[in-house]
Amino acid sequence: MNPVHVTVLVLYLAVMVGIGLWFSRRSQVAGSDDYMFAGRRLPRPVLVGTLLATWVGSGTIIGGANFAYTYGPLASIFFFAGTPVGILVLYLVAGKVREAAKRTVPELLEDRFGTPTRMVAATITMLAYIGIVAYQFTGGGYVLSLITPLSVGQATVVTGLLIAFLAVGGGLLSVAWTDALSALVIVVTLLVSLGYVFVQDVGGLGSYVDQLSAPLTTLTGGLTPVQLLGYFLPLFLLILADQNMYQRLASARDAGTARTSTLGFFLASFLVTVPVALLASASSFLLPGIEPDTAVLSLAAEGYTPAVVGGLILAGAFAFVVTTGSSFLLSGAGNVVYDLYTRFARHEVEDRRRLLVHRLAVVAIAVLAYVLGQFFPSVLALQVYAYTVYGVAIAPAVFAVLFWPRATSAGALASMVLATLTTIGWEVAGLSQQVNAVIVSLPVSVAALVVVSLLTGRRRTPVEVAG
C-alpha cells in the first residue's frame, strides 16, 4: 500500500463527495427534471466531459486494458473503433435528440411503435443497464483493492455505496460535474504516464515493438475476423442507442451545443483509448502474468510511474468507474420512473413523488447489480454481455424510428424479443467463449425487424403506388 496513492485517492474522493453534496441541495435539484436532465442547462465543456466519462468507465480502463494486454495494440483498434465510429453516427442525430428531449429511449420508441414496444424496450434497457452497473462495481473493486488493504469483494461493496450515493443525491447535476473533473484528470494523467513509461521503463517506441510477443504484433492478435467483429459490434451498437448519450444530449442548452459537444466527445475519446491500448500492451512484457483486467492499473500500483502520477491514474480510473456507474444507475432508474411507474399511475404523479421514486429505484438497481456481478468471471465478459443485450435489441428499433418509415410495431417487438432471447440463450449455452453472441443475435434482430415489418405493413393501393 503506497501512502501517496492512498492520500491522492482520499483527496479525490473528498472532492467528488463534496460536489455530490453541493448539487444535492434543494436549490440545485428542485424537481425531477433537474434530477434527470440537470435542468437542461449543461454548458459545452461539462457536456463533453460527462459524455466522455460516462462512456469511458471500467469498460475501457479495465475491460479494454484486458483486451490490449491479451491481444495486442493493433487488434485493440477493432475493439475500440466502435466508439469513434458510433460517435460520428450519433453526431448526425444529436440535433434531433435535443429537440425531441425525451426522458428515455423507450419513450422515443413509443411515439412510433406504441405502448407495448415501450414496455419491452424498458425491460431490456433495465436488464442491460443492471449488467453495466454491475461491472462498474467490479471494476471499482479492482482499483480500490490495488490502493488499499481491502479485498476485491470488500472494495466492490464500497464502490457500490459511493456510486449509489452520487446518483441518489444530486442526480445528473452531480454526476455531470464529477464526470467533467474526472475526464480532465484521467486524460492528463494517462498522457503523462504514457510518456513516462515509454521513456523510462520501455526504452522508446522501437524497444516497445521489439519486446512485444509475436502474436501481439499482428493485426488480429490471433483472433479470427468473426471474433474481432464480435468485439467491435457491442460497443458500436450500444453507443448508437445508449440512453445515457441521448439523455445528456437532451440536457444541453440547445441543439447546437449538443452537436458540437458530440464532436468534442469524438476527439477526446482518442486521448483515452490510445494511451490505454499502448500502456496495457506494454504491461504484457513489463508485468507478465498479472490479471489482465489490471494491465493499466498495475503500472501505477507497481511503481512504473511517479507516485503522484500513479495515484492520479488510480484515483482518476476509480472516478471514471464511479461516474459511469452513477450515470447508468441514474438512467436505468429513470426507466422505472417514467416507463413504468408514471406511465401506468392512475392519477397524475406530482413532481416530488417522482423524485422520491427515482431515488428509491436507484437503490434497488444498485442491489441487483451487485448480485449480478458475482456471476461473471471478468469485467470484459460482463461488459460484452451487457453491451450486446442492449445494442442488438434496442439499436435497430431506434434507427428504424429515425431512418426507416416502413418499420412497424410488430417488427420492432419481434426484433427486440428475438434479439434478447438469442443473446441470453447463447450465453447460457456457453457458446460466447468461441464467438460473441452479437455475431448471431444482430442478424436475428435486423432480419426480424425487416421481415416482420414488411409482412405487417399497410399495403399501398394502386392509386398510392401510381401517385
The pLDDT of residue 433 is: 73
Cβ-contact 122, 108 below 8 angstroms: no
Cα–Cα distance for residue pair 66/296, rounded to 1 Å: 9
In the structure, what pLDDT confidence band is assigned to residue 383 with cuts at 50, 70 and 90? Answer: low
The pLDDT of residue 412 is: 94
The pLDDT of residue 276 is: 92
Cα–Cα distance for residue pair 116/93, rounded to 1 Å: 25
Q: What is the pLDDT of residues 37-67, one digit of tens each?
A: 656 667 788 888 888 877 776 678 878 889 9
Residue scoring higher pLDDT (367 or 433): 367
Q: What is the pLDDT of residues 408-418, one digit of tens each?
A: 999 999 999 99
The pLDDT of residue 230 is: 84
Cα–Cα distance for residue pair 173/168, rounded to 1 Å: 11
The pLDDT of residue 211 is: 92
Q: Is residue 222 pLDDT above 80, yes or no?
A: yes
Residue scoring higher pLDDT (265 or 175): 265
* Cell digits of residue 49: 466531459
Q: What is the pLDDT of residues 6-45, one digit of tens each?
A: 888 888 878 877 877 776 655 455 555 666 665 666 778 8
The pLDDT of residue 462 is: 39
In the structure, what pLDDT confidence band is assigned to residue 461 with cuts at 50, 70 and 90? Answer: very low
The pLDDT of residue 56 is: 74
Q: What is the pLDDT of residues 144-182, one digit of tens each?
A: 887 888 888 888 888 888 888 777 765 666 677 777 888
Question: What average pLDDT does the segment 252-269 reach?
Answer: 83
Question: What average pLDDT does the segment 249-261 reach?
Answer: 78
Q: Is residue 463 pLDDT above 70, yes or no?
A: no
Cβ-contact 46, 177 below 8 angstroms: yes
Count the neighbouring beta carbons within 10 Å of the beta carbon of residue 435.
15
The pLDDT of residue 465 is: 35
Cα–Cα distance for residue pair 303/305, rounded to 1 Å: 5
CB neighbours of 267 closer than 8 A, spacing ≥ 6?
Answer: none
Query: Which CATH number applies to 3-380?
Result: 1.20.1730.10
**CA dist 342 → 203, 328, 361 (Å):** 60, 20, 13
Q: What is the pLDDT of residues 91-100, one digit of tens each?
A: 877 666 666 6
Q: For the chain, give every domain's residue range.
A: 3-380
Q: Is residue 191 pLDDT above 60, yes or no?
A: yes
The pLDDT of residue 408 is: 93
Supply the DSSP string of 292-315, one letter for each residue.
GGGHHHHHHHTTSS-HHHHHHHHH
Q: Is residue 189 pLDDT above 60, yes or no?
A: yes
In the structure, what pLDDT confidence band is assigned to residue 464 with cuts at 50, 70 and 90? Answer: very low
CA atoms within 13 A on the CB side of 160: 26
Return the DSSP state at 417.
H
Question: What average pLDDT does the segment 240-260 reach?
Answer: 77
Lowest mean pLDDT among 244-248, 312-316, 372-376: 372-376
Question: What average pLDDT does the segment 374-388 reach?
Answer: 63
Cα–Cα distance for residue pair 202/221, rounded to 1 Å: 21
Cβ-contact 87, 269 below 8 angstroms: yes
Cα–Cα distance for residue pair 328/160, rounded to 1 Å: 12
SS (H, E, C) 329-341: HHHHHHHHHHHHH
Cβ-contact 133, 436 below 8 angstroms: no
CB neighbours of 224 closer than 8 A, spacing ≥ 6?
Answer: none
Q: Is residue 278 pLDDT above 90, yes or no?
A: yes
The pLDDT of residue 466 is: 37
| Whole-prediction pTM | 0.74
